[in-house]
Amino acid sequence: MGLELLDWLLIGLIAATVIFLALLLAYLVGFFFTSRKLSVVKKKRPKKKKNRRKWAGQIRKIEQKKKTYIKLILLFLFLSGLCGGGGYYTKYYQMTNLAEKDKEALVQGYFLMTTIEEQLNEATETDSPKRVQGTVYDLSARLASYGATTPDGRLSKDGYLLLKRLYQSMKELGLILTSVTEETIQKPEAIEEYMGDIQKVKAHQKKVFEHFRINESSLKQDM
């Protein structure tokens, strides 16, 4: 279910809750005044037997109206609770689940980092360091573009900050790796340093996966 659809659902549930609460309040007021009227009428019991039938009919009519108010109060209490609960759950879902754009960004970022890591592992043994350097540069440039990516504002504060920190660290990693040259890519000590930078970003990535309950194994299968 897309978050745009959830936005409309949330608006509808909030509007419905407000309407049902307003009706609930109106029927509570009606119930209150009907109860008062019934109390007053009961005290005015006619002395003449002839008028008692009319009086009893009036009481029955008011009591029936009172029962109707009770049914309507219970109905709108249930409906307002149902819609209010639905609205709360919808908002909670938005705060704890990723929007499509963030899902795509995470999957793409995971792919970029994994591929860069594989390329760097091959770097010291490859016959074509220039090709590896070019691939790392292209992938790193795409990674650096994550600096312009902003997490969905409907996320919870913790989720938003975790995702923002990850995007920022991916950008910084991308900027570091775009400086890789054909010469440095053949030096084991340089590769080790780059791998250390990658592991730092992967630590942020792991926290995001845990927070949003993302199965890393499923990402590997999609690659």
Per-residue pLDDT tens digits for 134-164: 999 999 999 999 989 999 989 999 999 999 9
Q: Which of 46-55, 77-86, 125-134 has the lowest mean pLDDT?
A: 46-55
Instruction: Note the Cα 107 to chain centre separation in Å.
Output: 18
Per-residue burial over 141-163, b if 16 or more Cβ lie within 10 Å, else e, is eebbebeebebbebbeeebbebb
Secondary structure (DSSP) of 100-158: HHHHHHHHHHHHHHHHHHHHHHHHTT-S-HHHHHHHHHHHHHHHHGGGG----TTS-HH
Q: How far apart are CA 66 and CA 36, in angstroms?
A: 10
- pLDDT category at 222 given cuts 50, 70, 90 is low
Mean pLDDT of the chain: 90
pLDDT, residue 126, reads: 75
179 phi/psi in degrees, rounded to 5: -90, 0
Which pairs with CB-CB distance under 8 Å and at least 24 residues apart come from 143-146?
A: 143/109, 143/112, 143/113, 143/116, 143/170, 143/171, 143/173, 143/174, 143/177, 144/171, 144/174, 144/175, 144/178, 145/171, 145/174, 146/105, 146/109, 146/170, 146/171, 146/174
Tokens of 197: 């930078």
The model's pTM is 0.77
**Nearest by Cα to 183 from 142, 140, 141, 124:** 124
pLDDT, residue 223, reads: 55
The DSSP letter of residue 211 is H
- pLDDT category at 221 given cuts 50, 70, 90 is low
Sign of CA dihedral 145, 148, 154, 159: positive
Q: Which of 40-54, 117-131, 165-179 has the lowest mean pLDDT?
A: 40-54
- pLDDT category at 61 given cuts 50, 70, 90 is very high
What is the pLDDT averaged over residues 94-119? 91
Report whether pLDDT(198) > 80.
yes
150 phi/psi in degrees, rounded to 5: -115, 130
- pLDDT category at 86 given cuts 50, 70, 90 is very high
pLDDT, residue 1, reads: 47
Report whether pLDDT(183) > 50.
yes
Tell me what percent of the residues of the chain surpass a pLDDT of 90: 64
